[in-house]
Amino acid sequence: MGADSDPGANPAVPWRKALYVRQPFPDNYVDRRFLEELQRNIRVRQYCYWPVVREAGLVAQQVSCVAVFVTLWSYMELGELLPSTLLWASLGCAFLGYGLYEALGRTSSQARTRLTDLQSAAIFLAFTFGFSPILKTLTESVSTDTVYAMSALMFLAHLVSFPYAQPSPPGSLSLNAALFGSVCLASRLPGALHTFTMLTCALLVFALWPCLLHRLREWAEWSFPGAAGLVCVGGVSGLATLWPGGAFLLSVALMTLIFLCPLLLLRLQRHKDNIHGPWDEAEIREDLSRFLQ
């Protein structure tokens, strides 16, 4: 690179940065102007603390959604929550959420009608209710510890693969992982109605709620922090009724996600050092649309 002192270089002929020009210089020759074009951090985005905290609330509320679902499942397993009660409550929340979703308005790219949505919901409920006896006996030959471990791994995969930047509709990998973990837990409940109720609740929590929350972020941005905060409070409060130590750990994890992780991001952003210069790959900026017609 320091080829200015190369004995084969001809100082009488100026060097030009041209690829298809024969010059009396080695192929790897550059002059002293090479590092003058060095640029640092030209495409680095500068973040502010509170907007990052706001976006981190989406991650925290998704963790709380898993806590809410596990709490409901625990109450059903203990026999303290009737499946009919949870089923009617889930259907009521679904109707209220759908009404709010419609009130916020549809975009021009959403061509689905209310009748189509009703048909999809009816098909899902019918198939889930019909297959509930089969799903109830799905993991009979598997030990309970294995089922709990599989559920924990699936919920972890759901949280890791969830498309936080565009949660509507939820990603297929994230949704499938959450539903698989829900099926594993629901198969340990006493009856087929319990299984059907938990799968209906899982669809409401892991599929429909992210769509409504995303709509709130788009059309009623002021309501998003309150909705995410209510979910976090519900997750911690519900877990506290069963396991106070677990509720404390969950609250610490949520505070870390919401307040500490954004601060760590901003601190680490100061050490970011990206360099750009003439050694980068060439970018063709010519308009080639005329060749595509």
Instruction: Write the pLDDT tens digit of every residue in 259-289.
Output: 999 999 999 888 887 887 777 666 666 665 6
Q: pLDDT tens digit string along 135-185?
A: 888 888 889 899 999 999 999 999 999 998 887 777 889 999 999 999 999
Pairing, β 275-276 against β 39-40: antiparallel
Q: Is the pLDDT of residue 251 over 90?
A: yes
DSSP for 78-93 reads: TTSS-HHHHHHHHHHH
Length of the chain: 293
Share of the chain above pLDDT 70, in %: 88
Q: pLDDT tens digit string along 211-220?
A: 899 888 888 8
Q: Is the pLDDT of residue 253 over 90?
A: yes
Cα separation, 210 vs 45, whole angstroms:
27
Q: pLDDT tens digit string along 92-143?
A: 999 999 888 888 776 544 556 778 878 888 888 899 899 898 988 888 888 9
Give residue 18's pLDDT band: very low, low, confident or very high (50, 70, 90): confident
HSE of 192 in the Cβ direction (CA atoms, 13 Å)? 10
Task: Kindly give, in sequence order, each residue whose CB lies less than 8 Å from that of residue 187, ignoring residues fewer than 6 positions away.
Answer: 135, 136, 137, 138, 139, 140, 147, 195
Cα separation, 271 vs 275, whole angstroms:
13
Q: What is the chain's mean pLDDT, rounded?
A: 85
Q: What's this model's pTM, rounded to 2 decimal places?
A: 0.79
End-to-end CA distance of the chain: 43
DSSP for 2-60 reads: -GGG-TT--TTSPP---TTS--SS-TT---TTGGGG-EESSSPPPP-HHHHHHHHHHHH
- Pair 186, 133: CB distance under 8 Å: no
163 upstream amide cis, omega within 30 of 0: no
Q: pLDDT tens digit string along 45-103?
A: 788 899 899 989 999 999 999 999 999 999 999 989 999 999 999 999 999 998 888 88
Q: pLDDT tens digit string along 184-215?
A: 999 999 889 999 999 999 999 999 999 899 88
